Amino acid sequence: MLQPCPECERPISDRAAVCPGCGFPCAEQRAELDAAASLQRDRASRTHVGETDCLRCLARGFRMIPDDEPEAGSFEWCEVCGHSGRVALVQSSRGYFAISPPTLDAFLRAACDELPLVAVRIGDDVPPPRYPLASQDGASPQDDDRESTAGGGG
């Protein structure tokens, strides 16, 4: 399909890498426009859908300091998740993101995009929790076992 060159307005193929008339890099500009449109769609589709494990501390609320850093062998509290081990889970057209709680509002309003540690794309599927979660009603699986054995013996 023919379209006008953005620079000289000469009709060129929509598959042309450069305009044969002026040398304008049409394919490069198309790629930039496509990327901008994709980012705009992603920003518009962002929805807070729950929580997930903090990637920085691996859902612990703290992290061990590696051997190659000063104070190796000790630990530090995780500032990304606020020591809870949990961060916000956001779904968008590009997949799922783990978002630090203080960054959540800015990410949802599209005031920021991916940032190291605080706004990280985690994939197309929700990862399972690293540690078992308490049930919705607050009872633990051990409580269920005790109830079933307490009244049933003869």
Alpha carbons 118 and 78: distance in angstroms, whole number: 11
Alpha carbons 12 and 1: distance in angstroms, whole number: 8
Exposure on the CB side of residue 152, measured as CA atoms within 13 A:
6
User: Cα 126–95–63 angle (5° rounding)?
Assistant: 55
Nearest 5°: phi and psi at 103?
-95, -10
Q: What is the pLDDT of residue 11?
A: 92
Cβ pair 17, 29 in contact under 8 A? no
Alpha carbons 59 and 136: distance in angstroms, whole number: 19
| Digitized pLDDT (tens) for each residue of the chain, 154 residues in all | 888 988 899 998 888 899 998 998 988 888 898 889 988 999 999 999 999 999 999 999 999 888 888 888 889 999 999 999 999 999 999 999 999 999 999 999 998 888 888 899 999 998 888 887 654 455 545 445 445 555 554 4
Q: What is the pLDDT of residue 134?
A: 55
Distances (CA, A) of 122 to 55, 84, 95: 9, 19, 8
Q: What is the pLDDT of residue 104?
A: 95
Q: What is the pLDDT of residue 77?
A: 95
Could you tell me the pTM of the whole model?
0.68
Distances (CA, A) of 24 to 15, 18, 79: 13, 5, 48
Q: What is the pLDDT of residue 136?
A: 47
